[in-house]
Amino acid sequence: YGDAGAIITSDDLLADKMRMFANHGALKKHFHEIEGINSRMDGLQAAILSVKLQYITAWSKARYLNALKYSEYLKDINEIILPKIHPNVKHVFHLYVVRVKRRSELQVFLKDLEVSTGIHYPKPLPFLKAYKYFDYKTCDIPVASDYMNQILSLPMYPELNTRQIKSICSSISRFFTM
């Protein structure tokens, strides 16, 4: 419903560490053991999240299945690099991010077709003002420097259906054959 989130784990040590990190580094008030942040959510966000948690498994599965469909329908387009889907790894595909050299053109093309895309995290962290003091150059992080101008997030949400994914992929294919 807004900015809030949850970490789900069966690891008690990790759970304590995350609670501590989210509470200025303390499990007990005024006893800060590590450097942390203020990441406590308000009651309204907690209430909404508690309802959403009932659906987390189904939504995660739906996103994963949608990612598999994208990968299947886009696999023959050589101009696009797809995310790797590793066996024995659970991925929830919060985003489905492809890499494409003609990103700006493709993004405009899709926008004209009313397909919403995004460029999430457009700059590598070392290039943000907060980390300017490190004085990184593109040659220091060549992969991230190269990818920052290629990444494009395609629509991804649990309710996305096969017809919509096929339509998006067909549009992308059409772009590369024009």
pLDDT averaged per 10 residues, the chain (length 178):
77 93 85 82 86 93 97 97 91 96 98 97 86 91 93 97 98 96
Question: Hey, what amino acid is at 20?
Answer: M
- Give me the pLDDT at residue 51, please: 92
User: CA nearest 172: which of 118, 93, 98?
Assistant: 98
Give the whole-angstrom CA distance, residue 126 versus residue 106: 27
- Give me the pLDDT at residue 127, please: 87
Asked if residue 77 lies in contact with residue 171, where contact means CB atoms within 8 angstroms, the answer is no
- Give me the pLDDT at residue 35, please: 83
Whole-angstrom CA distances from 23 to 11, 14, 109, 160 are 18, 14, 45, 36
- Give me the pLDDT at residue 107, please: 98
- Give me the pLDDT at residue 2, please: 67
- Give me the pLDDT at residue 83, please: 97
Sequence-separated (6 or more) residues with CB below 8 Å from residue 11: none
- Give me the pLDDT at residue 45, please: 85
- Give me the pLDDT at residue 22, please: 87
How buried is residue 58: exposed, middle or buried, by Cβ count under 10 Å (0-12/13-18/19+)? Answer: exposed
